[in-house]
């Protein structure tokens, strides 16, 4: 079998040689043309850009690129920071809301407990107050009852004491003598009575002695007579005895004396006196009123005035 393309006629050496020469010439021309072109480009580039311009251009370009990168990085970092802050705020808000809710619930429970305790305390307090009020009322009743009993007993005791003194007379300003005895004192007093025409015999005197008084004053002479008639006989001469320098006064108990002092200090009382075992006073309206130991002076005066109307 014959080879492919064997039908084409073979070329001789001369033809081949001419073709090679033509190809070489063509390549050479192309290279020369390219060299001329590159040379022209170099000249044009030299005219277009210098070295400093190139460096400046590169520097500016790199600076712009770096600035743009920094700007983008800063924006990116800012955005990341904002996202992180927002995320943290959201988480913190959730945590805060949760904590507030927990605390609110805890406080609500505590308030309920306190309210319950408060109501219990109120009930206990009301109960205690009621018990204390009842106990206080009972104590007050007992105190009032005891006060009334004490006052009544004191009145009875004072009445009995005053009754036991009903025949007594105190003779004031009787000069004391050295080595004074009951006998000499009795003679001196009866002599004073006789000087004023008061007939009192020694046997009518049950007892006679001096009683204490304020320091620096003459001790009064207390005389206990046989009966009230004998006392009346002496007291009728009270004025004459006073004129002679010897006052005659009733033997009044300490409680009755205190009552008379209290009456004398009252703004509506003019004067006070003792008569037949009782204390009397005259008001500035000329009312003569009998008073007892524990009387309220204002109340007694008002009641007396109301009765007169």
Q: What are the pLDDT digits (tens) for 235-275?
A: 999 999 999 999 999 999 999 999 999 999 999 999 999 99
Residue 150: alpha-carbon gap to chain centroid: 40
Domain contains 67: yes
Q: Is residue 36 part of a domain?
A: no
Cβ atoms of 246 and 175 within 8 Å: the answer is no
β-pair partners for 169: 223, 250
In degrees rounded to 5, what are phi and psi of residue 256?
-65, -35
Q: Give the pLDDT mean for 130-140.
A: 89
- C-beta atoms surrounding 195 within 10 Å: 12
83, part of any domain: yes
Residue 12 backbone phi and psi in degrees, to 5: -90, 175
Same domain, 221 and 256: no
172 and 223 both lie in a single domain: yes
pTM attached to this predicted model: 0.55
In a domain, 155, yes or no: no
Say yes or no: 181 and 225 in one domain: yes
195 shares a domain with 259: no
Q: Are residues 233 and 259 in the same domain?
A: no
260 & 218 share domain: no
Range of the domain at 289: 252-309
**β-strands 221-225, 269-275 pairing:** unpaired
Please state the rounded mean pLDDT for residues 131-142: 89
Does residue 77 sit within a domain?
yes
CATH code of 216's domain: 3.30.70.1820
Region 212-220: mean pLDDT is: 91
Per the DSSP assignment, residues forming a β-bridge with 281 are 272, 289
- On whether the CB atoms of residues 29 and 21 are closer than 8 A, the answer is no
Same domain, 65 and 122: yes
* Number of separate domains in the chain: 3
Cβ-count burial 111-120 (b if 16+ within 10 Å, e if not): eeeeeeeeee
Any domain includes 157: no
């Amino acid at each position: 079998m014959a080879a492919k393309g064997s039908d084409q006629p073979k070329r001789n050496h001369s033809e081949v040689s001419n073709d090679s020469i033509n190809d070489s010439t063509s390549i050479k021309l192309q290279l020369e043309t390219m060299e001329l072109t590159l040379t022209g480009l170099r000249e044009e580039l030299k005219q277009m850009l210098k070295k400093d311009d190139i460096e400046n251009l590169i520097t500016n370009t790199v600076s712009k690129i770096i600035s743009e990168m920094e700007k983008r990085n800063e924006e990116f970092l800012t955005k990341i920071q904002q996202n992180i802050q927002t995320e943290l705020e959201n988480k913190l808000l959730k945590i805060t809301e949760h904590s507030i809710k927990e605390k609110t619930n805890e406080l609500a429970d505590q308030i309920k407990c306190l309210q319950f305790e408060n109501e219990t305390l109120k009930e206990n307090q009301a109960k205690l107050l009621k018990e204390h009020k009842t106990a206080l009322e009972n104590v007050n009743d007992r105190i009032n009852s005891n006060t009334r009993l004490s006052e009544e007993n004191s009145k009875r005791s004072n009445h009995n004491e005053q009754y036991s003194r009903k025949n007594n007379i105190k003779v004031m300003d009787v000069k004391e003598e050295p080595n004074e005895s009951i006998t000499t004192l009795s003679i001196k007093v009866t002599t004073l009575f006789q000087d004023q025409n008061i007939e009192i015999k020694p046997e009518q005197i049950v007892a006679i002695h001096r009683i204490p008084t304020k320091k620096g004053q003459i001790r009064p002479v207390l005389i206990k007579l046989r009966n009230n008639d004998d006392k009346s006989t002496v007291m009728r001469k009270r004025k004459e005895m006073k004129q002679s320098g010897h006052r005659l006064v009733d033997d009044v108990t300490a409680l009755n004396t205190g009552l008379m002092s209290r009456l004398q200090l009252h703004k509506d009382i003019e004067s006070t006196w003792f008569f037949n075992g009782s204390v009397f006073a005259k008001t500035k309206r000329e009312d003569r009123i009998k008073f007892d130991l524990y009387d309220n002076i204002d109340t007694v005066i008002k009641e007396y005035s109301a009765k007169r109307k």
